Structure formats: C-alpha cells, structure tokens
A and B are shown apart, each in its own frame.
Chain A
Amino acid sequence: MASRRLVQLSNEHWIVLNIKRSTVHHLQRCCVHSRIKEDLEDENFKVLNILRDKDVKRFKWEKPPDVRTLSRADCMKTDMNWTSVWPTKAPFRWGSVPLPIRQGYRKKEYKLSAGKYGNAELVKIPNFLHLTPPHIKTHCQAIKKFCTEFPSELKNREIRKANFPLEVITSDYVTCGTSIRDPRSREVTVNVDLSVLKFDEHSVTKIKKLAGDKMDEKAMTLQLKSDRCPVRKQNFDFNVYTLTALYYESQEKEDWEDEMEESDWVKYQWDKTQSKKKILKLKHRIQQINSGEKTDLASSVSKSDPSVSVVDTEDDIQSYKSAFSNLKDEGDSRETLNAYKQSVLKLLKL
C-alpha cells in the first residue's frame, strides 16, 4: 500500500512522497493507534473493542506487469503512425488495437459486455480501422495528380442550377485487387429539377403518385438511380427514358381517374361526399324553423332535393366546407378543431 505523506522542506515548498510500508509495520501501527484512541477518549472506563475497524485491510503486494506477456497494443506510443499499423482492410486483431472496445451479449442488465481480448464477436463485424482520417489524407494526396480542376465559373450553385437542370453523377473506383473493374462503377444517378418543366395542377399530383419515393415533394426534384444494366451508358439511357415516360404519362388523363373513391383522394373533395347532403338538409330544416313553417318530420323528408331551396354558396356553408376539408386534410390539431367548432356554431346561429 502506498500512503501519501506531505513533507515541508521550507516555508513554501511542499513535496508529496509515496512511502511503501511492510505488513508488520502497518499492523503494529494500527494496534498502537487504536489503543491510543481508547486511552484518549475515555480515561475512566475502557471498552473492549471486539468489532475491529473493518476499513483496515490487509496489505497486498501488486505485481508489476510482465514485459514478455504484453501485447503490441500495450507497448504502443501515443504518437505512432497508425497507417503503418493498419495499412489495408483486415479482420479485427485485439493485439494491435489500443482501444477499450467491448462487444457482445450482456447476460444481466448491470453487467458489461465482454472486452476485446479473444473476442470473436469483434471479428464478425466489419471494421473501418483502415479508413481513419490519416489514411484518407494519404490516399487523397496520392490520387491528387490524376484529378482536374473544377471550372471556376460553375462554382456558384444558382448559375449551375439555371443552366444545367439535369445532373448526372457517376463514380470511378481504383482498387489494388486482381480485377480493375469494379461493379459499382456502372451505377448512374440523375437529379432533375422539375421546376423547369411545365406542369398543371393535375399532372403535379399525378407525377407525385407515379414517382413515389424518388420525388422530393418540397423541393420539386426527382432523383433517378439505376444499376440494372451491365454498362454505364445503358444505365444512363434507362434513366433518361424513365424521365420522359414519367413526364408524358403525367400529362395524360385517363377515364378512371374521375371515378376515384374517397380513400384514394389526395385532397378531400367536400362536394362529392355524403357530408354535403347532410349539411344541406340540416340547413334547409333550420331555415324552415326560422321562417316559422310548422312541418312534420315526415313531410320534410319527403320533400325531395332540399338543395333546391338552399344555396350552397352561402357564407356559413362555405366556412363549414373549408373548415371540414381542412380537418380532413391536415389531420386533427387544436387549431383545426377550433376552426371547425366555430364554423358549426355559425351554422347553428349561436
């Protein structure tokens, strides 16, 4: 055990000394210490201290680590060159990674998972130790001589966007393997800015439906990806073909589009629903009551087509329509429900 002692050399200088004590010396000291304590505390009546201080533990010699059993990671310096330790892609080796990594199943919630030593779980997962920032830096410096400069006029993004609405992205790969061809190089992505093209109200909704995930609805951009054909040019042609097909298909209007049901509507159309009939009937009845006509229930129902007497362009019905379709489109929230409540109150003349 190393106990700390502060020694005053002169007035201002203090030194902390670590003093090692032998076992015997320490035990003796403890006994003496407790005896003195008893003497000091109650001089008249001595109490036998059967339960000894539990804090005092036996001194234990800690072995210094054996140099022969140390792994490479233990001997590493902090400023070593990591690229030389891990030059290429390789499975995990616990001996040469100086990181406190853990991986594996935890048997209990409070327990930690197993450490890196001899851990097969760490070998199973892919590692990216060959792609650290220093690695990439050296790679980039090596490749730099093959690259050409980006034209400075096109660095402004807005100019680029106005002149070139179609953006084609391809990538080439350099590998040190046996084959110089990489399967990923045939991949082509085409980004299209749709604001350049002409769309009306119908075709916008239709292209949104047709494109699905490929469309970014807020920015009105289309991203087409393809790697289905073996050659890059074929992929590019395929993308352009899908773009033209999408555009012309969205312009056309089929017969069945008018017969859509309520669940397929993009926007809620109040004029086509049962709700309109209901409200017009209610309005008709309210008008009857207000004008003083005393009609039975049966007769009012039998009068077919109440919409003849009620004009659906009236103020309260219009406000109800906008509020209800808003509720249907945007979903429930405090604001839409409040607006709906106000419109119903208006309808009931309150």
Chain B
Amino acid sequence: MALCKGKTIYHTLLGIYKQQISTSYFSTNKVLSNMYKDRVPSVQSIGELNALCIDDKPVEKKIRIPAKSEFSSAVTYDPIVQKFINILMRDGKKEKTREIIEQVLENIKMKQIENYHKATTDAEKAMVVTDPLKVFHGAVENCKPLLILKTIVKGGSGYRVPVYCHERRRLRVGINFIIKTCDTRKRKVPLSTVLATEILQAYNNEGNAVGKKHQLHKECEAQRAFAHYRWK
C-alpha cells in the first residue's frame, strides 16, 4: 500500500469505486457537508482552553496549509514513492501516474517472484529480494549523486563548480536520472515496462541511470580545480 489507497477506500465507502465519476463531484456536492454536519468542536470549555495556553507567550500565527491528497497515516505509507509520482506527473494527471507506478511495482514484483520460484536451493532463494519497495528504494539510493555541478559566474565567465548538496536535492536528482533515461524509449513500448527494467538494473548497480551518476561524478572530478569558487 505504498501508493496511497486512501482515495480508493473513500471511493468504496461511497460505492463509486472504478466508476467514471470524479471525486471532486462529491467534494462539491452535499456528501461531504453532510458528513461534517454533526461534528463537535474539539475545545468546548474554558478549562480546556487554559490547559492549551499555559505560558504567557503570544499565540503565534501560523499559515495553515490543507493536507495533500496523498498523505495518509497508514503504516505502509511511503514518502519516496509519493515523491516519485509527483516528479513523474505531467499536467496534474495524478491518477494516471499512480496507475503507471502501480504497473511498475507489479512488473518488478512479477519478475522477482519468478526468479524466486525458479531458484532451486534455499541459498539462492534467500538472495532474491521479492519486495518491490525494497528494490525501488535500493534503485533510488544507488542513483543518488554525491556532488552536483553548479554554474557560477566569476570575472565575467561561467565556471561549473562541484558543489555538495543536501538530501532532498540528491533524492530529486537521483529520481530524475531514472525518469530521463526512460524518456528515450521507443514508441508503443509502455512506460511502465521500461521503468521497471530500469529500476531493476539500477538496483543491481547497472544500467543507464547509474551510468549517468558515474558520469556526473567524473565531470565533478574534472572540474575539481574550481572547487574553491564555491565561496564566492
């Protein structure tokens, strides 16, 4: 349940699962307002309010952002898969992207389980990782670069300087490597199969995505002389 299935549960509760009605119809109509009708406010008496504000400090005003649709408190909620979906998404078609990722996980799982059942001895079976999420995480981890190149203008000319970057940036670059290798696929080959093979290769430290990472590292090493330009 790495893909957020919160929406599907919501759909099944309403009895509209796998039908051609969008969720927004229900959010704008009477359904939600009826669900919230009998809600009791969380703070009712002054005593509880006092317990909330103990010290004399002024209450800070914070911007309240509504939770995104993919958030869920499920035990198996997976932020990296969600990140991957968000980066892969085009034109806000999240449902479509989610389907593709589901296909990818299915393909990976199918291949690995086939290998698992083909293996004869226990030692060989133990080597095969059948959990698609583990494979997915491993592939993303293997594609993360240590350094990235940043263009800095110094004295009128630009230099490409190797720069250390933080964790979030590394994750994004690594995911982008995987996605961009799949952009050069042939027509009529579905994206899900290409992504699945790419991820399986990346999990074994092979393939184009990992190659891109190595190439970036090489370039960083070549531009080592400009490293001190980082401090402008």
Closest residue of chain B to A19 (Cβ to Cβ) is B58
**Interface assignment of A3: CB less than 8 Å from any CB of chain B:** yes
Main secondary structure of the interface of B (DSSP, over half): loop
**A14 surroundings in chain B (CB, below 8 A):** 46, 50
Q: Of the candidates A3, A55, A109, A110, which one forms a contact with B58 in the assembled complex, judged by CB atoms under 8 Å apart?
A: A3
Q: Which chain A residues in 37-61 approach chain B with CB under 8 Å?
A: 55-57
Question: Can you list 24 A-B contacts (CB < 8 A)?
Answer: A1-B61, A3-B58, A3-B59, A4-B53, A4-B58, A4-B59, A5-B56, A5-B58, A6-B50, A6-B53, A6-B56, A14-B46, A14-B50, A55-B60, A55-B61, A55-B62, A55-B63, A56-B60, A57-B61, A57-B63, A109-B22, A109-B24, A109-B28, A110-B24
Q: Which residues of A contact B (CB under 8 A)?
A: 1, 3-6, 14, 55-57, 109-110
Once the chains are docked, how many angstroms separate the CA of A179 from the CA of B53?
A: 71
Q: Can you name 5 extra interface pairs (CB under 8 A) apart from A5-B56, A14-B50, A57-B63?
A: A3-B58, A6-B53, A55-B61, A55-B62, A57-B61
Once the chains are docked, how many angstroms separate the CA of A109 from the CA of B28?
A: 9
**A55 surroundings in chain B (CB, below 8 A):** 60-63
Once the chains are docked, how many angstroms separate the CA of A56 from the CA of B59?
A: 12
B17 to chain A, nearest CB (A): 20
Once the chains are docked, how many angstroms separate the CA of A201 from the CA of B226?
A: 103
**A4 surroundings in chain B (CB, below 8 A):** 53, 58-59
**A1 surroundings in chain B (CB, below 8 A):** 61
A212 to chain B, nearest CB (A): 35
Once the chains are docked, how many angstroms separate the CA of A4 from the CA of B55?
A: 12
B28 to chain A, nearest CB (A): 8
Once the chains are docked, how many angstroms separate the CA of A196 from the CA of B62?
A: 76
Closest residue of chain B to A29 (Cβ to Cβ) is B58
Closest residue of chain B to A4 (Cβ to Cβ) is B59
Closest residue of chain A to B50 (Cβ to Cβ) is A14
Once the chains are docked, how many angstroms separate the CA of A3 from the CA of B56?
A: 11
Once the chains are docked, how many angstroms separate the CA of A268 from the CA of B46?
A: 74
B149 to chain A, nearest CB (A): 23
**B58 surroundings in chain A (CB, below 8 A):** 3-5
Once the chains are docked, how many angstroms separate the CA of A4 from the CA of B53?
A: 10
Q: Which chain B residues in 26-40 approach chain A with CB under 8 Å?
A: 28
Once the chains are docked, how many angstroms separate the CA of A14 from the CA of B50?
A: 9
Closest residue of chain B to A110 (Cβ to Cβ) is B24
Closest residue of chain B to A21 (Cβ to Cβ) is B58
**A110 surroundings in chain B (CB, below 8 A):** 24
B47 to chain A, nearest CB (A): 10
B189 to chain A, nearest CB (A): 33
Once the chains are docked, how many angstroms separate the CA of A56 from the CA of B53?
A: 19
A27 to chain B, nearest CB (A): 14
**B46 surroundings in chain A (CB, below 8 A):** 14
Q: Which 3 pairs of residues, A with B, have the shortest CB-CB distance? A: A3-B58, A109-B24, A55-B62
Q: Which chain B residues in 45-69 approach chain A with CB under 8 Å?
A: 46, 50, 53, 56, 58-63
B131 to chain A, nearest CB (A): 37
